Chains A and B, each alone.
Chain A
Amino acid sequence: MLLTTWVLAGARASLLAAVLLTTLHAAAEPMRFDGMQVAGHDAVDPAVRRFTAKVTRVGQAGKAGRISTLRFEPIGPGMVAPKRNEMRGWRLTFIRGKMFGRTLWLKSNTPDELTVRSTDPSMEGVAEGDIVVIELIDPKLVDANA
């Protein structure tokens, strides 16, 4: 009986630990991973201008059912909210979420909202908490009329 109680207590503790770990992992910010030091190497000058952001809200779908706007907030060291249309023509790549790896291009932005080009695919499936990196690939390639 004592042994059974002890085994059951152990099993309950293991289950609780597993649930806690799963919850922590799901809620963890990308930069914090169980105390592990994040890999990297020598700092060199940025090859492109970059802005990283976390999606805070997904815009409403248009009449055609297309979602082209996102609300965001800066994420990462040194990131500050961009000026209006500072990132017009910049390339946006999703690095977290359902659209992971997909690339779109900015038509316009405010300090906390961005709109992608009308020729880009809908951002349906994007969710709060997804992360994007927005880069100025080549200033000469930026379409001022985008």
Chain B
Amino acid sequence: MCHGAWVKRAHALLAAASLALAGAAGAQTVKLPADAVDGFHAALKRKDTGGALSYLDRSLVVFEFGVTDPTVEAYALSHLPGDIDMAAVSDWTLQARRVGGSGNERWVLSTYHVTGKLPDGKPIDQVMQETAIVRRAGDSFRIVHFHWSSDKAWAQPPRAAAP
């Protein structure tokens, strides 16, 4: 093999290796704040528990409809399975988004039109509002806070009566 052909083949191999490495790194690195949110939702839709957790910061706190998941472990145990189940029967279409903040702390405000069908046949048709706060750790953004609410009262869980 002549030197030129060898160099060409080496370049091709290096390019292929770089692409493969970039793909692997892409799963771990979130360069843009909104990508953390979109990646999280995509993981829910894939029923990918580990993937969803990879977008969450260990200091995550979730507010939803007036109730709280105070730790990422609490969210992972008691709430994430329900979100995966809900994602499986619904489609979340992004309606509007604003992104702000500066430095390592950013916010992502999104509204989604959520459609689908509940087990009892009742159609899901609601607007879901989502506030996400993301924090850069190293070269990647992770979600430190979610707050979800809906325009439909029936979509919200019953709250415990005040004592």
User: Which residues of A approach B to under 8 Å, CB–CB?
Assistant: 30-31, 33-34, 36-48, 50, 52, 75-76, 91, 93, 95-96, 100-103, 131, 133, 135, 137
Q: List chain B residues, Cβ under 8 A from A91.
A: 49-50
Q: List chain A residues, Cβ under 8 A from B119.
A: 44-45
Report whether A30 and B78 are in contact in the complex, using a CB–CB cutoff of 8 Å: yes
Contact A76 to B77, CB < 8 A, known contacts A38-B67, A40-B64: yes
Report whether A41 and B65 are in contact in the complex, using a CB–CB cutoff of 8 Å: yes
How many pairs of A and B residues are in contact by the CB < 8 Å rule?
A: 112
Report whether A133 and B76 are in contact in the complex, using a CB–CB cutoff of 8 Å: yes
Contact A103 to B50, CB < 8 A, known contacts A44-B119, A47-B85: yes
Q: List chain A residues, Cβ under 8 A from B64.
A: 39-41
Report whether B156 and A41 are in contact in the complex, using a CB–CB cutoff of 8 Å: yes
**Choice from B76, B84, B89, B159 contacting A37 with Cβ under 8 Å:** B159
**Choice from B49, B79, B88 contacting A38 with Cβ under 8 Å:** B79
Report whether A100 and B53 are in contact in the complex, using a CB–CB cutoff of 8 Å: yes
CB distance from B158 to the nearest CB of A (A): 10
CB distance from A42 to the nearest CB of B (A): 6
22 residue pairs of the A-B complex, CB under 8 angstroms, read: A33-B70, A33-B74, A37-B68, A38-B74, A39-B63, A39-B68, A40-B64, A41-B155, A41-B157, A42-B86, A42-B118, A44-B89, A45-B85, A50-B81, A91-B50, A95-B49, A95-B53, A95-B73, A96-B73, A101-B53, A101-B54, A131-B73
